[in-house]
Amino acid sequence: MLRQGIPQKIRFLFQVRECRGKTCVSARHKGVSEEQPESMGTGKRTDCLSWDEYFMAVALLSGQRSKDPNTRVGACVADSGNKIVGVGYNGFPWGCSDDELPWNREGDYLDTKYPYVCHAELNAVLNATSRDLSACRIYVALFPCNECTKVIIQSGIGEIIFLSDKYKHTDSVKASKIMLEKSGVLYRQFKTERDAIRLTFRDDL
């Protein structure tokens, strides 16, 4: 039933950069009216994604599963062998209805999303296929809050790669960096020369 509503050709555009201080983590889609033939070659591709680009793209793609109307964040955990061992996105705990709990950002505390939502980093760690995450790294759209940083440190993850640090002036992120520096967990901002990654859903690849 679901496939009947999907056009033959839809192109999704994933932004992989910060846009004027706001992280572009959403996907846009548009119909493709004409076929764009690919050039045929005999040598290997030289423009393939780097590992960092690949895992950050997976994190951004995972964020598109979030029901949050304002902030959609994903996370991806990769091991030292460049295998994905965990993904997650921000949402409510298992068994808690997306339709019953609030998504509000303002109002009385219990009427907002904040006491209920699980961040992407927490879900990625809890969803991991391995208990031992030492020597792993986590890719996230936003620099982790102090609570997620505790989870990352306790899980044994050794490095954080983040896309945006737009909340760097908050006490939460300042506390995160204090804990990371004291625990020896590395962190660095994601860098790429690409502006976007295009994904095309079609049956004639």
Q: Which residues are designated catalytic? A: 121
Residue 31's nearest CA partner among 204, 191, 201, 196 is 201
Q: What amino acid occupies position 22?
A: K
CA–CA distances in Å: residue 119 to residues 42, 51, 87, 115: 44, 23, 11, 11
Contact predicate 139/190, CB 8 Å: yes
Distance of alpha carbon 67 from alpha carbon 93, whole angstroms: 12
Q: How far apart are CA 119 and CA 68, in angstroms?
A: 11
Distance of alpha carbon 73 from alpha carbon 93, whole angstroms: 15
| Adjacent-strand bridge partners of 119 | none
Closest to 93 (Cα-Cα) out of 73, 113, 74, 108 = 113
3-class secondary-structure state, position 88: strand
